[in-house]
Amino acid sequence: MIRLIWLGCLAYLTVGLGQLVVGAVMEPMVGAYGVQYGDGGQLVMNQFLGGLAGTLCAPWLMRRLGRRALLLGAMSMMAAAEIVYTLAPPWGAMLVLGPVAGFGFGITETVVGSFIIGSAGDRGNVAMSRVEVSFGVGALLMPFIGALLIDIDRWRLAFGVVGVLAAATVALWAVFWPTILNAAPAVGAAQAGSHGARGPSPVRLPLLGTGPARWVLLASAAFFFLYVGFEMSYAHYLPTLLVQEGGITEATAALALGVYWGAMTVGRLYAGQLADRIGSMSYLLSMCGMAAAAFILMGFFGAATPMFALAAVAGLAMSGMFAIALVFANRYAPGMTERTTSLLLACGLLGGAVLPKLVGWSLDALGGDRTRWLLAGFALLLLAVAAAAWAASRSASRAAAKLAA
């Protein structure tokens, strides 16, 4: 299990770097290609649409190819795409490569996430939070790497960093493949049964559940759509908002992402333990409320200093939402970890494709002021969806208690 956690951390580190690299170099990239922010949002959208396809195909491909071949192939695909990005292809080729890179990212995140949840049992919150720390470290490092490379006018090498790390990740997974995964299907089934014995449902559920559990999974799917799209929108366009509103340089603005992801990383160190102590839904509701407050304040204060401070608050608030919500939702579909994880991540990737495109359009058409309020609206909507998931989970728990009686 320890080997799986370490290799999972390495894979999520690579995905974290890869998903944030476009945002870290958005300003010089848009200028170099002579395109608009909406076009940059199109590249983000293409990458996330590829990730969506990879996530949806992951369970089927896993049955056809096997876990090892699928994961190694996916990581090789994203390594190749990122290295080609480095070679300064035309903008049209960049847009074509986006889905290829995204397909690799989507499969890697889905497969590794299902490995961790399926193998960790009752320690799922803590295990996923640890792996998510690595994603945060990657996302934290990329703005600093991007700022350094922008400063020396070598911003394209940021893609090369991701490509080289992805290639190294492929090699390490190939050499040190975790033996625990060879018995994972049986282990997962046993865990699913134990979850069902004390969870919302003692039987294997359809993909979207049955009865009250179905509403929990539907609310969770909406949560992932909003959360990932919201997070990626903010991460990709925070430097642009600061350049437009704060009057600072592109390299300095890129460092704001470091503040955001640094707070994310610190928060993820403790998110699992905190969620176990106060309960998953209490954690999600309180953190969504904290994030909403931070983004509403951003609507009023767009200068560089308050934006940096509020970026840290937002990072802490949003740090554990993904991992905790993923483990929480899987408890309502026992025995179906891979399919449920695939569905939820697919919803997240769809949000990651659609919402950044909307935010890019908003920056072009409406400006930074109104775009900050758009982000605040996303935060409030996320809080509302979390409240709906909480209400559905209470209904499912009452229904389960009646059946047990």
Please report, for the domain that includes residue 89, its CATH number.
1.20.1250.20
Q: State how far the Cα of 229 lies from the Cα of 226, in Å rounded to an integer.
A: 5
| pLDDT at res. 82 | 94
Q: Range of 246's domain?
A: 2-404
Please give the pLDDT value at position 189.
Answer: 38
CB 129 within 8 A of CB 272: yes
**The total number of structural domains that make up the chain:** 1
DSSP class of residue 87? T
* Distance from the first to the final alpha carbon of the chain: 37
pTM exceeding the 0.75 threshold for the entire prediction: no
- DSSP secondary structure string for all residues of 22-58: HHHTHHHHHHHHT--HHHHHHHHHHHHHHHHHHHHHH
> For the chain, which residues score pLDDT lower than 70?
120-125, 183-212, 246-247, 333-335, 337, 399-401, 403-405
Residue 186: the pLDDT is: 40
Q: Which residues make Cβ contacts (< 8 Å) with residue 177, sequence separation at least 6?
A: 68
Q: Judge whether 312 and 189 are in contact, CB under 8 Å.
A: no
